[in-house]
Structure 1
Amino acid sequence: MLIAQLSDLHVCPHGMLYHGVVDSNGALVDAIDHLLAMDRRPDLVLLTGDLVDEGRPEEYEYLREILLRLTIPFLLIPGNHDDRENLRTAFSDHRYLPAHGPLHYCVDDHPVRIIGLDSTVPGSHHGHVDPDGLTWLADTLAANTTKPTLLMLHHPPIVSGIDVMDQYRYVDGAGLRAVVERVGNVEIVLCGHVHRSMLTRWADTVLCACPSTVTEIDLRLSAGASPSSHAGPRGCMLHLWNERHGLVSHTSQIGVFDGPYPFV
């Protein structure tokens, strides 16, 4: 099974630019075309938050219009730029999304079980899951402790080293970590939020952050460094599951580059 991950789309109302400078809507079209042109088309696409820029109904309306181009099944979770209720309303036909409360869900229709965890805190930009959400996750994981499982949430529950992003990370991640550590079948934890690739060991598994389809937040590791971003490189993740060999994840850059050349 091949699972693609797109993150931090920041779709704006039709004709508007992200922060007034970047065409995030056109960038999403490019990302979708990138997936559709692959030599092996993904079986499923995961959209890991910040689907739109300000959580407005008209942004979700345009997001849905762009996603008509994506002829691959997809699952989504919210990020800190999303509005939970507007998202729920816009995607009411996505039956895996609960009708009330946080948008936690489990989809068990594939060789890999997919768990979506809503780490948004309405009105804030940091991430967290309340005790009820952690209980839901613990019960969901305990229901099957052998099937390979992929957990996705928007906010990485770790310190990245980028000060400006760590102010808005998933805070107090010890509770979440304890829940994930209880089981041994979480193959990977997928996040967005940081607008760049990032990889670490966490909770006895692997945590991986996905690039944004729009901008890359600059890797500025000095304490107190001013925030900055570039309009690229843009990318997505590809997670290849094989029953015999397990899960392998690849970063795939979106764009036009010289080549192909007849060598490896």
Structure 2
Amino acid sequence: MLIAQISDIHASPGNDGLARLKRAISWLATMQPDIVVVSGDLVNGGWREGYRQILAALQSLACRTLMLPGNADDRTVMREEMPVADYWGGDGKTHFAEPHGDALIVGLDTCVDGYAHGDVAEHLAWLRQTLASGRPGIPLLFTHHHVFPTGISPLDGVMCRGADALGDLLSTGIRRPIAVCSGHVHRQMSSLIAGIPAHICGSICPANPLLLDPAREPPVTDPPALMIHDLRNGRLISSHVST
């Protein structure tokens, strides 16, 4: 089963975000993924037409698409402009959990209204209940905000708060996700949380520099990027792809 992940389009009338997305979708069409997960920050400034155009572009792929909001998104506008997203809850949050093939695709809305950082603390009960449910499939957890420090100080200041509590939950013997997949950082990175592989998907929009030391800022040469998660025979292989 192939699960494609797209993140951080940040489309606006003044940038080439939609064109970059369409190039990524053209590449994905050759892969024919079984499902696409968009892990947040679709548009800038609540651009309504941008949401409509992104939805139309994604619908050119012959597969299911699931979308999470990012801190740059407006949930209300997303709901109005993407009415096909019937998998979102009715409580104002946009969590979801859907079985597809051998996977249980879980999306956790980590956004905090009015802030760039995320927070998972108030959603842990929902996540525990979801992972403990009898829904079939191997869980694969998606968030917008990253759940491990990257070493890039400005971005770690706006990461997902409550990540330690998330790690504690995932260590309690509950059914564990095979991986945690995020965005937000605008570059590809990987680490662990509670011994579980944690990936940050590269962005469709221009990447951030690998600023591990403020005194040494390397050039940014990264092209638009996405991920392919290949779940096969109970094993997950996650590939970072430049488009």
C-alpha deviation, 1:123, in angstroms: 0.6
Give me the whole-angstrom Cα distance separating, in 1, the residues matched to 2:40 and 2:73.
Answer: 7
**Per-residue CA distance 1:198-229 (angstroms, 9 max, x = gap):** 11111221100000112111101114877x98
Unmatched runs of 5 consecutive residues or more in structure 2: none
Give me the whole-angstrom Cα distance separating, in 2, the residues matched to 1:9 and 1:205.
Answer: 26
Which is worse superposed, 229-238 or 83-92? 229-238
Is 1:143 aligned with 2:136? no
Which is worse superposed, 100-109 or 117-126? 100-109
- Residue 169 of structure 2: aligned partner: 179
Q: Which amino acid letter does the alignment assign opposite residue 118 of structure 1?
A: D
Give me the whole-angstrom Cα distance separating, in 1, the residues matched to 2:93 and 2:216.
Answer: 34
CA contact (8 A) 2:121 2:165 kept: no
Q: Report the RMSD for the aligned CA atoms in angstroms.
A: 2.1
Give me the whole-angstrom Cα distance separating, in 2, the residues matched to 1:34 and 1:6.
Answer: 12
| Same amino acid, percent of matched pairs | 32
Is 1:236 aligned with 2:226? yes
Give me the whole-angstrom Cα distance separating, in 1, the residues matched to 2:25 and 2:36.
Answer: 10
Q: Which of 228, 240, 243 is equivalent to 1:251?
A: 240
C-alpha deviation, 1:239, in angstroms: 0.6
Q: Which amino acid letter does the alignment assign opposite residue 149 of structure 1?
A: P
State the SS of the aligned residue for 1:216: coil
Q: Which amino acid letter does the alignment assign opposite residue 28 of structure 1?
A: L
Give me the whole-angstrom Cα distance separating, in 2, the residues matched to 1:146 and 1:138.
Answer: 15
Matches within 5 A, 1:129-140: 129-131=120-122, 133-140=123-130
CA contact (8 A) 1:165 1:194 kept: yes
- Residue 64 of structure 2: aligned partner: 73
CA contact (8 A) 1:11 1:25 kept: yes
**Per-residue CA distance 1:58-117 (angstroms, 9 max, x = gap):** 321232233333332211101111111111222222221112321111112431001100
Q: 1:96 to 1:145 in 2, by over 3 A?
A: closer
Is 1:98 aligned with 2:79? no
CA contact (8 A) 1:56 1:83 kept: no
CA contact (8 A) 2:99 2:135 kept: no
CA contact (8 A) 1:147 1:185 kept: no
Which is worse superposed, 45-54 or 56-65? 56-65
Q: 1:170 to 1:211 in 2, by over 3 A?
A: same
Q: Which amino acid letter does the alignment assign opposite residue 240 of structure 2?
A: T
Which is worse superposed, 172-181 or 97-106? 172-181
- Residue 19 of structure 2: aligned partner: 26
Q: 1:203 to 1:190 in 2, by over 3 A?
A: same
- Aligned length in residues: 242
Q: 1:61 to 1:147 in 2, by over 3 A?
A: closer
Give me the whole-angstrom Cα distance separating, in 1, the residues matched to 2:161 and 2:190.
Answer: 18
Q: When the two structures are superposed, what TM-score results if normalisation uses the length of structure 1?
A: 0.85
CA contact (8 A) 2:228 2:238 kept: yes
Q: When the two structures are superposed, what TM-score results if normalisation uses the length of structure 2?
A: 0.92
State the SS of the aligned residue for 2:161: coil
CA contact (8 A) 1:137 1:179 kept: no
